[in-house]
Chains A and B, each alone.
Chain A
Amino acid sequence: MAALDPARRRAVLRQAVSVGVATGAYGISFGALSTAAGLDVLQTQALSVLLFSGGSQFAFVGLVAGGLSGAPAAIATSTLLGVRNGLYGLQVARMLDVRGLRRVAAAQLTIDESTAVGVAQPEERAGRLGFWATGLAVFVLWNLMTLAGALVGDAIGDPKTYGLDAAAAAAFCGLLWPRLKSGDAFAIAALAALVAVMLAPHAPAGVPVLVAALTALVAAVWPNAHRDPAPPHHWRDEADPEQAGRQAAPGREAS
């Protein structure tokens, strides 16, 4: 396989770093919300190192915020949100062709951002570079910013005074927004929200969210439903608009 020419290499690395900075930056909000939810700094950092998937981490701390009784639902919700990473793995495994410890490292770095940059590259060589560079950039910056946020969150008093409970809801909006690309996606979102709120007074904390997840099954019997597991692209404003992250998102080529 031909080596990547230096200009392409620089372009891919620049893209990886811009995605890493943009994504890493909101690690600070995760860190602050996590300590506000009652986790200590070490537990917060453990989630960013070991769990390493933004949506799952926000969901986990959001659901344990009400107390340890929410822990089983927190684990279940975090895991369901992680299902998409497995699908990304299916898509990048062939391109990366890794074994042993490198496969373990690749799996841990398989998230929205690394997958999007990897599969967006037209050549396989650049795809591998994009995946690894983006995954590592996000991992390092996400963890540093988590620590910063956790230390800040730990130092302040009642999180409600600073509106941190509302910040958690806003963070979920921010993660949801890029996925609402069609009317069908919007309908599923509205249905899930309705189910969760209606169930909330009658079920233990966390359970309404899990039951609401079943509305995703509507998509199984609804042939025109949203089917675009494209990772969200928080960085689209920061990155060069010509870069292909949006066009070649995972899943598109299968449809």
Chain B
Amino acid sequence: MSLWTAVLVASALAFALKFLGYVVPAHWLEGQRTSRVTSALPIALLSALVAVQTLTGDGGALVVDARLAAVAVALVALALRAPFLLVVALAAGTAALLRALGVA
């Protein structure tokens, strides 16, 4: 699969899901259980992505490096209600600084 194919397939599926909301009868997805799972889904996915991007290296091995410190800084910034862009910039800055200093 080329990168372009992947981009277009992901885009087509994203649109199909959005459009589906406009054409299926609302009662199909009104169950309590369904709504609990669908609201938990982004939480599980985003959390797994944070964990994998922060703690794993080549081949999926557990690696503790500058990224963990950077994410810790990001979490503190979020707790202090910093805007999204500042959170991302602080994390990048932390990792860049630690690497420049040769610490991690």
Write the residues of chain A forming the contact surface with B, with a CB cutoff of 8 angstroms: 22, 25-26, 28-29, 38-39, 43, 46-47, 50-53, 55-56, 58-60, 62, 64, 68, 71-72, 74-75, 77-94, 98, 103-104, 106-108, 110, 160-177, 179-180, 185, 188-197, 199-203, 205, 208-209, 212-220, 222, 225-229, 234, 237-238, 251, 254
* Bound: A149/B69 CA distance, A: 24
A179 — which chain B residues lie within 8 A by C-beta?
A: 42-43, 46
In the complex, besides A188-B40, A225-B40, 19 extra interface pairs with C-beta distance below 8 angstroms are A43-B7, A55-B46, A59-B49, A78-B10, A80-B45, A86-B17, A91-B21, A163-B93, A166-B67, A167-B88, A167-B91, A169-B53, A174-B78, A196-B49, A196-B52, A200-B60, A216-B41, A234-B84, A238-B83
B53 — which chain A residues lie within 8 A by C-beta?
A: 62, 165, 168-169, 172
Could you say which of A46, A91, A215, A229 contacts B11, with CB atoms under 8 Å apart? A46
* Bound: A175/B87 CA distance, A: 11
Q: Is the CB of B61 within 8 A of A173?
A: no
Could you say which of B49, B56, B91 contacts A163, with CB atoms under 8 Å apart? B91
Q: Is the CB of A216 within 8 A of B37?
A: yes
A62 — which chain B residues lie within 8 A by C-beta?
A: 49, 53
B95 — which chain A residues lie within 8 A by C-beta?
A: 160, 163, 165-167
B28 closest partner in A (C-beta): A90
